[in-house]
Every structure is written in structure tokens, then in C-alpha cells.
């Protein structure tokens, strides 16, 4: 795979050099009124939150309003954001909650692609 970095390993900072004219995509999670979590991607997660709460966002969130933004993760490209969203969506609720809480083991961008031999190391 490429060497592009995704996720919180490089904190988002609009003051960092090269930010201007640099398109940043975000993977985000919102907590719905019924307690469920919805994962999506956007260039501006706060603007997307307003769209969700206006009832014009994803079909899933329309019947679960209001929603609250609980997690954002910057990605350096649309491709990286799509891959990260694909990694996060199938996570169990417990793993998503750990990610939201800031568990560093979950924050690794490639943790879902563990090799089979890694699971045997955990029991050693």
C-alpha cells in the first residue's frame, strides 16, 4: 500500500504550513438521538452535522434526530477517507466507542488489516 498517512497520527491543525489550498477530508461519527452511531465522510463535518440535523442528511439519521458530532478524523485524500470509512463502518459498537474515547490501539489506521499471526501473538 501507499505511504499516505490517515488518522490522528498527524493532528489536524489549520495553522500548519501548506494548509491553505489543501483539501482535507474527514471521516466522522455522529451519535443519533436513539444512541446509535452513524459513520460518514465530509470535507466539513460541522457543516455536514447541520445538514443531518436539518433532516436532509443520510436517510439513516433522518428518523433519529437530533444527532451530535462525537468523532472526526482528518484524511489527506478522498481515497484515504473512503478507505478509513470502509474500515470503521463494520466495527462493533464497543470498538467504535473505544475509538471515540481515544483508545490508541483502535486509532491505528491499519488495525483492521491485522495479519493472522498477530492474533496468536496476543495470546502468547
More confident residue, 113 or 24: 24
Which residue blocks in the chain are alpha helix, DSSP H? 45-53, 59-62, 78-88, 93-101, 104-107, 116-122
Percentage of residues of the chain with pLDDT beyond 90: 62
- Spell out the CATH class of 20-122: alpha beta
pTM here is 0.70
Indicate the pLDDT class of residue 118, thresholds 50, 70 and 90: very low
pLDDT tens-digit series, residues 50-106:
999 999 999 999 999 999 999 999 999 999 999 999 999 999 999 999 999 998 777
Domain extents for the chain? 20-122
C-alpha cell at 120: 496468536
> What's the grid cell of residue 38?
452513524
pLDDT at 74: 94
**Distance in angstroms (rounded) separating the CA atoms of residues 116 and 124:** 14
Q: Tell me the C-alpha distance between 42 and 22, whole Å.
A: 14
Backbone angles phi, psi at 9, to 5 degrees: -65, -25
Amino acid at each position: 500500500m501507499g505511504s499516505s498517512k490517515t488518522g490522528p497520527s498527524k493532528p489536524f491543525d489549520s495553522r500548519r504550513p501548506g494548509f491553505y489550498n489543501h483539501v482535507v477530508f474527514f471521516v466522522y461519527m455522529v451519535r443519533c438521538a436513539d444512541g446509535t452511531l452513524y459513520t460518514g465522510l465530509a470535507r466539513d463535518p460541522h457543516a455536514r452535522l447541520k445538514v443531518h440535523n436539518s433532516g436532509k442528511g443520510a436517510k439513516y439519521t433522518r428518523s433519529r434526530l437530533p444527532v451530535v458530532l462525537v468523532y472526526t478524523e482528518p484524511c489527506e485524500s478522498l481515497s484515504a477517507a473512503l478507505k478509513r470509512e470502509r474500515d470503521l463502518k463494520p466495527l462493533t459498537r464497543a470498538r467504535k466507542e473505544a475509538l471515540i474515547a481515544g483508545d490508541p490501539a483502535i486509532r491505528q489506521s491499519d488495525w483492521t488489516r491485522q495479519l493472522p499471526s498477530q492474533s496468536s501473538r496476543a495470546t502468547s
